[in-house]
Amino acid sequence: AQSVTQLDSQVPVFEEAPVELRCNYSSSVSVYLFWYVQYPNQGLQLLLKYLSGSTLVKGINGFEAEFNKSQTSFHLRKPSVHISDTAEYFCAVSDQVRGSYIPTFGRGTSLIVHP
């Protein structure tokens, strides 16, 4: 069975500062990894995904994430955050155990950007 751990439930940061949201997963097989963002009162939106190839994945809004197989991590980073980045961020992993790539989501990290 696969699982996802988002180590921080809340990350406060000042505007224009860098940020890293941590995500670790466990799975016995090859995985696909995702980061989603949920703005207040909206549905989830895909930020980026790793399926194969380069371990550094670039997404929308200046976010990027690096797949580290040895550390089973997929941390999300942004070099300079904006107030508008305030949202809930979810890491997700899917593999072929289920045969249908249904993702397992972490509990989410609330990013709070202060002016």
Partner 1 sequence: GAGVSQSPSNKVTEKGKDVELRCDPISGHTALYWYRQSLGQGLEFLIYFQGNSAPDKSGLPSDRFSAERTGGSVSTLTIQRTQQEDSAVYLCASSLGERETQYFGPGTRLLVL
Positions in the binding site for partner 1 (CB under 8 A): 4, 6, 9, 32, 36, 41-46, 49, 51, 90, 92, 94, 98, 100-108
Provide, rounded to whole angstroms, the least separation between the CB of residue 84 and partner 1. 19
| Distance between CA atoms of residues 66 and 102, nearest Å | 21
Are 42 and 33 within 8 A, CB to CB?
A: no
Grouping H, G, I as helix, E, B as strand and the rest as coil, residue 4 is strand
Of residues 24 and 94, the one with the C-beta less far from partner 1: 94
Grouping H, G, I as helix, E, B as strand and the rest as coil, residue 61 is helix
Of residues 13 and 44, the one with the C-beta less far from partner 1: 44
CA atoms within 13 A on the CB side of 40: 6
Provide, rounded to whole angstroms, the least separation between the CB of residue 74 and partner 1. 15
Provide, rounded to whole angstroms, the least separation between the CB of residue 29 and partner 1. 14
Of residues 46 and 83, the one with the C-beta less far from partner 1: 46
Our CA dihedral for 54, 64, 48, 57, rounded to 10 degrees, sits at -10
Provide, rounded to whole angstroms, the least separation between the CB of residue 115 and partner 1. 26
